[in-house]
Structure 1
Amino acid sequence: MTKNRKVLFLSLALVAVILVLGGTTVSGYMQASKYKMNLNYNYQRAVTDLGDCVDNIENTLNKSIYANTPTQQNGLAAKLMRETSMAKAALGILPLESGNLANVNKFISQVGDFSMALSSKISAGGSISEEEYASMENLEQYAKKLKEGLDGIQPDFDAGPVDASFQQAADDFTDYPSLIYDGPFSDHIGQQEPKLLAGQSEVPQGNAQNNAASFLGVTQDKLTHTQDSAGGLPTYNFDCGTIRISVTKAGGVVSAMTDGREIGEIRLDADGARTAAQGFLEAKGIQNMKESYYVINDGICTINYAYSQDGVTCYPDLVKVAVALDTGGIVEYNATGYIMNHTDRGELTPKITQEEAQKSVSPRLKVESGSLALIPTPGLNEVLCYEFQCTGENEDRVLVYINASTGMEEQIFILMQSDSGVLVK
């Protein structure tokens, strides 16, 4: 090949490379532009959907104030639940960073949750109270404010987060009032105080450390005071080797203990773990606890216990004990549920008989046994029920809870049993 031909060949090759790279760059740019256009379309669609949903929420709340039959009230409640679900989905798509719409998100969640609580009440034969009507009127006014705040919003999605565009809507919700009802988003949830510790004064750190040492069976000097915990159940926290233990500031009650040691060769089965856990509870003076369910993971058997009052299983009063299957030692103890919920409930008396309650159980289920149980509602209230253990089709094990006052179904669980334990879903 002559020198001129070599130069020509290299020049053509270089041109080809440049064309390929250029084409790739253009293609990449076009793909990026298309992706950005699609993303902006989705954002704009979310703004439109959010506005439409809020408009429907306001309209439906307005109708709900005047609805007077259970059928109509339940239908409107179902519509509110659908609209709030779609509004939350739309809000979740938008590129927001500052969290200044937290109250807006809370409002939307509470409308849907409040609607579900009302629907359950109506289905059980109850009626909407004057206070609940007042709450609906209040919610309607805030829905109207939110609708006005969203009208005309045209965020510039190319500029990044669009929090500023929603500032007016956020400002309208700075004074959003508390809403109390029986649901998981009710404002009283975050205000719950530990019932077991009601009226008890705060103990000094040294006293709490003594209680922790006594619980572990060591001297006080073996413990190191670490960062305290705040929140709904303030605690002093201490370390002792691989063990972390927490003691409530009010009353000085041990609320939790975990031992992070490694688990050796497994020597115990679930029955052995039960025996060890029961012995531990008795040694600590924790009485009247009924075993419910257990699970085995990584050489540890975790058993749940619920307080039993005159034959009634009080599921809110929960204590968790975890047993290491190598030595039978206790590697976790958690009494938070018991401390937050245990109180003097007086006599727990049903208004209907077990036979009457059993009539509400599906004919597709064979009832194996029944007993009284106190179960928590979504809003952390309590309801007395008959707990029926049943067998369903395909040998499903089913728990059905029938309200002991109204005869209405309150809850249904499927028991899941395997070599790893028994759990409910």
Structure 2
Amino acid sequence: MIKWIAIAILSIGLAGTAYWGFQQSNQRETLLIQNENNYQRAFHDLTYHLDLLYGKIGTTLALNTNEQLSPQMLEIWQLTSRAQTDVNQLPLVLLPFSKTEGFLSEIGDFTYDVAVRNLDDEPLSQEETEKLNGLYEAADEIRQELRTIQHEVMGKQLRWVDVELALTDMDPESENFIVDGFTTIEDSASNFTETHFQNLSATLPQQHERFSFLTGSDVSEVEAIDIIRKQFDLNEDLAIDLQKSGEGAQLQTYSGSFTHDDHHGYVEISEKGGHILSYMINRDFQEAAISLNDAQKKAEQLLEEQGLDQFIIMQASQFEQVGLFQFVGNQDDIWIYPDKIMVKVALDTGEIVGFSAADFYRNHRDRELSQPELSLEEAEEKVNQSLTIEDYHLAIVEDNEGNEVLTYAFFGTLNHDTYRIFIDANTGYEVVVELLQDVENNWGNRLTD
């Protein structure tokens, strides 16, 4: 009898141990997934911020007024802070990365010092302009390497949690593409002096967060999952990981992710109305089988299906086997830049693999538009004479305070770069200057002699 009691107790103990082990395994797997999601987000944010940083530095070289230079420098300073935050969230503790962080600090310190001084009394010197050019070139090298890493991460479905293992592996023969890529980035930044980033405060322009165009009742988590299944035609038994934004978020959203065959999907949905704000599909892309023009038609068809009309194609570009299309609102032949939508189309199958309409839902509303007080010729005189003007159109854009301004948008070239310059159509003030990179522009009305 005692023997059987002992066996029963032992069996219960083994079962309990097995259950505990199962629970621990599940918890560990959940933790790995959470860490991987955080790493992926931080890396893609870093790549995005370096792209913006490169563009912002480039636009300062085309500015014609000191009034725009200070706000531009503050924006660059803010972007370097964000990029450093992204770096700190990646598993690179064991990887020497001080030179790249020093490079970001160099940009941050330099742009902040320029932004806070009186540029009328102490304008940008020739030495500072040369330094800005050097930072611009280095930023280009780093962003291109980040894009290469991003392509490999997405194409080969590499995991950041494996980077942690690779960094703790002391075997000199071990290889990891992500680690090798970041080592290359570190080498690219080695020409810049390491400085310590100062956590300086500044009053930075804040973007208006309206989202007044979102309509409908709040949707539940179950309803949000149903929206995702319907959008991507997913089976009922396919697992969808859904997370709700925190209480402090400016807009309450659901973030969902799923894996189906070789497709890895990420989607963001507004709680109010269940509108799809953005999504991205990661998969391997085969050789292009459709033209960029056919892909544009696919993108336009998607907008129609989403009930989004009155849009005009602003930019079309091809990155290997993917077409990227940027649309802006169109009201009375005036381009509404705040109402922007971006669509990515795979050129092998014509599948939509990326969609972002957050800017549209944030900014869209009925606008009362007026006629410009300045003529086209008067506005063109306000553009940097070093630029060769190629085209123009009337446009609504946001200034640094988030106020919408009626402008003339001029497309001009300088050296081998193309810029878009927005001149206030009423005052002649240089509102925004943007560097256009790797794009094929859909020009508006061509200027006449």
The normalised TM-score by structure 1 is 0.51
Match of 2:298 among 265, 276, 287: 276
**Amino acid of the residue matched to residue 430 of structure 2?**
E
**Contact map agreement 2:213 2:364 (CA 8 A) in 1:** no
Quick one: percent identity of the two aligned structures?
24
**Contact map agreement 1:197 1:251 (CA 8 A) in 2:** no
Deviation at 1:222, TM superposition (A): 5.0
Structure 2 unpaired stretches of 5+: 1-65, 85-108, 121-198, 443-449
Deviation at 1:379, TM superposition (A): 4.0
**Contact map agreement 1:235 1:248 (CA 8 A) in 2:** yes
Using CA pairs under 8 Å that are at least 6 residues apart, name the structure with larger relative contact order, 1 or 2.
2
**Amino acid of the residue matched to residue 238 of structure 1?**
G
| Aligned match of 2:402 | 380
Q: How many angstroms apart in 2 are the aligned matches of 1:244 and 1:393? A: 38
**Amino acid of the residue matched to residue 380 of structure 2?**
Q
Deviation at 1:198, TM superposition (A): 6.3
Q: How many angstroms apart in 1 are the aligned matches of 2:280 and 2:417? A: 35
Q: Deviations over 1:27-46 (max 9, x none)?
A: xxxxxxxxxxxxxxxxxxxx
**Amino acid of the residue matched to residue 239 of structure 1?**
S
Match of 1:399 among 399, 420, 438: 420
Matched, 1:346 2:362: no
Q: How many angstroms apart in 2 are the aligned matches of 1:119 and 1:252? A: 48
Q: Deviations over 1:179-227 (max 9, x none)?
A: 87xxxx24x44xx434235686533223333333343345666562422
Note the 1:23-422 alignment, pairs <5 A.
185-186=204-205, 188-189=206-207, 192-197=208-213, 202-218=218-234, 222=238, 224-230=240-246, 231-240=249-258, 241=260, 242=263, 243-390=265-412, 392=413, 397-416=418-437, 421=440
Deviation at 1:422, TM superposition (A): 5.7
**Contact map agreement 2:213 2:363 (CA 8 A) in 1:** no
**Contact map agreement 1:209 1:223 (CA 8 A) in 2:** no
**Amino acid of the residue matched to residue 250 of structure 2?**
G
Deviation at 1:326, TM superposition (A): 0.7
Deviation at 1:292, TM superposition (A): 1.8
The SS at the match of 2:243 is: coil
**Contact map agreement 1:306 1:316 (CA 8 A) in 2:** yes
Aligned pairs, how many? 266
**Contact map agreement 1:385 1:403 (CA 8 A) in 2:** yes
**Amino acid of the residue matched to residue 228 of structure 2?**
A
Q: Deviations over 1:75-112 (max 9, x none)?
A: 9x98xx89xx9xx99xx9xxxxxxxxxxxxxxx99997
**Contact map agreement 1:256 1:335 (CA 8 A) in 2:** yes
Deviation at 1:259, TM superposition (A): 1.2
Distance 1:109 1:341, change over 3 A: farther
Deviation at 1:373, TM superposition (A): 1.0
For the pair shown, which has the larger CA radius of gyration, 1 or 2?
1
**Amino acid of the residue matched to residue 388 of structure 1?**
F
Structure 1 unpaired stretches of 5+: 1-73, 93-107, 121-169
The normalised TM-score by structure 2 is 0.49
Q: Deviations over 1:223-251 (max 9, x none)?
A: 62422234333311233423222211123
**Contact map agreement 1:194 1:233 (CA 8 A) in 2:** no
The SS at the match of 1:226 is: strand
Deviation at 1:305, TM superposition (A): 1.4
The SS at the match of 1:272 is: helix
